[in-house]
Structure 1
Amino acid sequence: MTKTGSILPEETLNAILRTGSNHNRTELRLIYNFMSVQTKEEYEEFVRNEYGNGGKGFIIDGKKYAVWFNKNGMQIALGETVRTKDKIHLSWEQVTNRIHCLLKEGEFAPQSMLDKAQDNAIKEHAQALAYMKGDMAEGVAEIVFAEKDLPHLRSIYPEITDYLENKMKDPAWLSELNKRLSGVANAYKKSKTIMRFHHYDPVTVSKWFHKLAAEVTPYKAKDGFVSTEQKIFITQDEIDSFMIKRGSYSERRLRTYSFYLLNEDKKSRTDFIKKQYGTGGQNYALSGADNSYANYDGKGLVLARGNYGNPQVSISLSWDKVANRIAYLIKNDQFLQTEDYARMPEYEREHMADKILRFYNRLPEAVDRPFTNDFFWEKPRKEIADVLKEPIGAEKLLQKMDAVLADLPLDFNAYGTSYSDKADILSQIHKYLKGDYTIFPIRKEENKLPIKAENVVKQKKINPVANNEENIVKEKIGHQMTIFDYLAIS
């Protein structure tokens, strides 16, 4: 662990670790995990999975601390973001060891919480078993559960989980269940068809229940130990994460990125972002955190943690601020993910396919369409995108479009489209196939902030007909970091 120094006092670190991950009942799961004897690697794997990817913000002793964690570890920094040099990094081994140490010293949680850990584990395992039972194919439940248990498992929630909770407190019943779960896990490895859905696969559930059956040793809190609830805030990293959206690839990110490259006007960008979001909301908005949500309407975006309508903390952003922040993320190469760059050529072909479909839209029925007619455009879009990958096919398609426009009257006008619109589209297609047009133009160097050499991303524009694999090639030196990536400190 990097020396905390004045950045992070030891007790502040302990206070942050006591809060666990971004999930409900996280402290109880962490406590119970350390109550059984496991290897160092097993302890660490559990802690890493419990945290997952995400962030938090705390106000401790009047100072703001931003926290971010992912598969590579945890970062903590003074202020509203961990994207700074002044921060510490903890590996998951260090996080695991520190939590384990706090438990042994009786300084992780008050006794009232320690006493609830085992009951919570039984409850959560009962819920998982009930959900897995619902995912099973016909006849599989009869293999997993004893005949006398089955009538109770055809009930409704929470009666099913209440029944399972009571049964799991019986060691003999749990031992018999584990034998059956092992058998189903082996069968699942050979054939996935024994499950209708795979949210609770038998292999994973079987491991959970064998661990549940292991002997545990409860922890005791230090005399007089009291856990203090920390004041929270929403970090800039969490806000950025919401704007970027999770996932290795996103059409929405590429659509936004392309629009920003083609439109520098601030009002146009704001109107675009406002339309992109529309009116609505979503749960788990802050990097998947439980009890977090987002609302958006004509006024702007609201991000919050806590109960809906009565959150612990919230932040409101106008669409101007959202649009400006996205511009900052794009300018600093923090918006796109690695897979987005790889999918650029395919996305651009699909975008140009849409233009070609709009070219043929509203033309007389007698005009031959070089694709399958489909009201939703899904099948023809794919057909055209495939044609654009091949130089010969793309050239033939262009010749057909030229012939269609040549036969079209100059005064053609139909339902919001005209001869001029068709001519503009055809001109763009010509330029695209010559390599003179792209929806991902290279940003002007004078508009970019300085970037370290090891993180530079270069783009070359290549004739898509001459090179049917890529229109934009991303040459990457090192790795282009985003908020989801691990930011190792020196």
Structure 2
Amino acid sequence: MIRAIILDDQGRRKSRQEINQFFRNSKDAQEKIEYMKNAYSDTFVELLVDKERIGYRKQPDGLLMWEGSYLSRTSESVFSWGVVTEFFEGYMEKGRHSLAFGAETMPNQAEQLNLFSMPSETEVTNAIADEEKPIYHAKIPQEVIDKVLYTGESETVPYAVAARYSRDILAEERIAFLKTVFQAESGFGILHEKQQYTVWFTENGLDLSRGKRLRNGFSRTSLSWAEIDKRIETLLAEGAYLSQTELEKAKAFEFSDVSQRLLYLYGDIDQENEENRKYLPIIRGIRNISGGYPVWEQELPKLLAEKSSAQAIYEEFKIFSQDYAQNRDILRFHYHRVGDLERDLELLTLPKREFTAQQDFQRQCQKFISENEVEKVLSGGSSISGGKFRIYSYFSYPHSLQEKADFLKNEYGTGGVGYKGFSENHDAKGIEIKKAYDGIAYDKRFLKWTDVARIVESLVAFTNT
């Protein structure tokens, strides 16, 4: 329904009559494109056409159009200003609307161009050679998908995946595991052959699209968890998931990860109750070694790497797990995933598959912070109690952009938050977001408070639509 959007004046500073008059007087294509770009204001607009909701908003590189309500949109695409200009001129030349009184004859269903349609080259031609054409359908290169799967958001992801896939388990269990390491509502940007891609994991699998932001509809490629599982299996079998050195690290990672969780769990057993001191005697023996956690975390993986001792630890843990299910007072804290840990110990006793990497294979992936990541950070609010509600309430009423920016600056104050691979810091100047992978910083974004206000404005604008 592009025509309805192109002909709508609500989101423009200039009316159709004014644009038409300028186009009649100007023969320069670039002038027309610039005029069209400047004719639009930076505002969200939604329309109801034939009982279907559609909308649009000005972007630096074109006009963003979507179907459905913005936050639950079913498709979207950015049309470059050159294409927007051509559409407008095309409608005028074909006499499909009247400019005399601002009246228009709405197209019938056969005439409407749906956002899912792929216009032919004759319908969308570009008069300016260097003007970027919109992506009506962009197939994501297989190399990009593979990079996503063997990189992950953090450096431990591919090691955890390779270790789990080395065990002889069913696809259903592998997929359940993938959902824990490739967490829903997380993602990142990838630069591949000078083209940016945004990737985002969901409850249903993986979504990818070209650009700094995840797109909807025909410009998005989606993979189900079953497809992700199958592709990882293929990459491991072909030796194109990790290098040989990294495959060895994956083995060590598995033992180290289970060891750390066992040691922390044992530390939370209520030892004041003598009855509880009978549990996990092998782990107790490790903890009796002098040197503390640095030494224990070196010694326990050695035992887990030996099948006989791994079996013995697993048998001890099964007794603990059965009793804990009946008496939760055995542990002082209950954040430990006892069932998962029991299963992971069992896997160490099962037959193992060996993977071999291609001789010269090395992972390569250049990442950047996507717009979706920025929005996710800002959607969490100020991290101050009640902050998210105060921000939502303030932005629900009319205020100038500067007033909103000042409000956010005062609400956030000075501070920040960080964990491995991520940090967010804010002060009177704005917000800075940094991300790292395997200890190496790869991108940072600084947003002035007016920039933050614009993004928050868009997040709040259609929350209730």
Asked whether the two chains share a fold, i.e. TM above 0.5, the reply is yes
2:427 is the counterpart of 1:297: yes
Q: Which runs of 5 or more residues in structure 1 are unaligned? A: 285-289, 334-455, 458-490
1:252 Cα deviation from its structure 2 partner: 2.7
- Aligned counterpart in structure 1 of residue 391 of structure 2, from 256, 260, 271: 256
Mark the CA change 1:148 to 1:322 in structure 2 (over 3 Å): closer, same or farther: closer
1:163 match: secondary structure: helix
- Aligned counterpart in structure 2 of residue 219 of structure 1, from 349, 355, 358: 355
Which residue pairs with 1:130 in the alignment? 263
2:456 is the counterpart of 1:326: yes
The 5 Å alignment of 1:294-373 reads 294-306=424-436, 311-333=441-463
The 5 Å alignment of 1:213-252 reads 213-228=349-364, 230-245=365-380, 251-252=386-387
TM-score (norm 2): 0.65
Q: Deviations over 1:225-264 (max 9, x none)?
A: 2322x21110010000000019xxx843222111112342
The 5 Å alignment of 1:29-428 reads 29-53=160-184, 54-85=186-217, 86-138=219-271, 139=274, 140-146=276-282, 149=285, 152=288, 155-228=291-364, 230-245=365-380, 251-284=386-419, 290-306=420-436, 311-333=441-463
1:158 Cα deviation from its structure 2 partner: 0.8
Mark the CA change 1:259 to 1:8 in structure 2 (over 3 Å): closer, same or farther: same
TM-score (norm 1): 0.62
- Aligned counterpart in structure 2 of residue 8 of structure 1, from 140, 143, 149: 140
The answer as to whether partners of 1:75 and 1:89 remain within 8 angstroms in 2 is: yes
Mark the CA change 1:150 to 1:291 in structure 2 (over 3 Å): closer, same or farther: closer
CA distance in 1, matches of 2:270, 2:190: 46
Percent identity between the two aligned chains:
22
- Tell me the amino acid that sits aligned with residue 281 of structure 1: G
Q: Deviations over 1:159-196 (max 9, x none)?
A: 12112122222322221111111111111111211111
Mark the CA change 1:62 to 1:308 in structure 2 (over 3 Å): closer, same or farther: closer
1:197 match: secondary structure: coil
1:125 Cα deviation from its structure 2 partner: 1.0
Mark the CA change 1:156 to 1:266 in structure 2 (over 3 Å): closer, same or farther: same
CA distance in 1, matches of 2:174, 2:207: 20
1:315 match: secondary structure: strand
1:128 match: secondary structure: helix
CA distance in 1, matches of 2:199, 2:188: 5
1:129 match: secondary structure: helix
1:128 Cα deviation from its structure 2 partner: 0.9
Mark the CA change 1:178 to 1:104 in structure 2 (over 3 Å): closer, same or farther: same
CA distance in 2, matches of 1:181, 1:258: 50
1:265 Cα deviation from its structure 2 partner: 2.5
1:310 Cα deviation from its structure 2 partner: 7.1
1:116 match: secondary structure: helix
The answer as to whether partners of 1:135 and 1:200 remain within 8 angstroms in 2 is: no
- Tell me the amino acid that sits aligned with residue 58 of structure 1: I
1:11 Cα deviation from its structure 2 partner: 2.1
Mark the CA change 1:172 to 1:319 in structure 2 (over 3 Å): closer, same or farther: same
1:55 match: secondary structure: strand
Which residue pairs with 1:411 in the alignment? none
- Tell me the amino acid that sits aligned with residue 50 of structure 1: V
2:212 match: secondary structure: coil
- Tell me the amino acid that sits aligned with residue 189 of structure 1: A
1:314 match: secondary structure: strand
The answer as to whether partners of 1:133 and 1:141 remain within 8 angstroms in 2 is: no
The number of equivalent residue pairs is: 322
Mark the CA change 1:130 to 1:52 in structure 2 (over 3 Å): closer, same or farther: same
The answer as to whether partners of 1:277 and 1:296 remain within 8 angstroms in 2 is: yes
Q: Deviations over 1:297-350 (max 9, x none)?
A: 1111000112899722101000111011101111132xxxxxxxxxxxxxxxxx
CA distance in 2, matches of 1:180, 1:166: 17
CA distance in 2, matches of 1:332, 1:76: 23
Mark the CA change 1:316 to 1:103 in structure 2 (over 3 Å): closer, same or farther: same
1:205 Cα deviation from its structure 2 partner: 1.5
Q: Which runs of 5 or more residues in structure 2 are unaligned? A: 1-135
- Tell me the amino acid that sits aligned with residue 142 of structure 2: E
Q: Deviations over 1:27-84 (max 9, x none)?
A: 1111111111111101111111111131110110000000110222110010111143
The answer as to whether partners of 1:188 and 1:203 remain within 8 angstroms in 2 is: no
1:67 match: secondary structure: strand
The answer as to whether partners of 1:294 and 1:301 remain within 8 angstroms in 2 is: yes
2:293 match: secondary structure: coil
CA distance in 1, matches of 2:196, 2:347: 38
Deviates more, 1:293-302 or 1:199-208: 199-208
1:99 Cα deviation from its structure 2 partner: 0.7
1:201 Cα deviation from its structure 2 partner: 3.6
The answer as to whether partners of 2:307 and 2:348 remain within 8 angstroms in 1 is: no
The answer as to whether partners of 1:270 and 1:320 remain within 8 angstroms in 2 is: yes
1:116 Cα deviation from its structure 2 partner: 1.8
2:428 match: secondary structure: coil
1:76 match: secondary structure: strand
1:273 Cα deviation from its structure 2 partner: 0.7
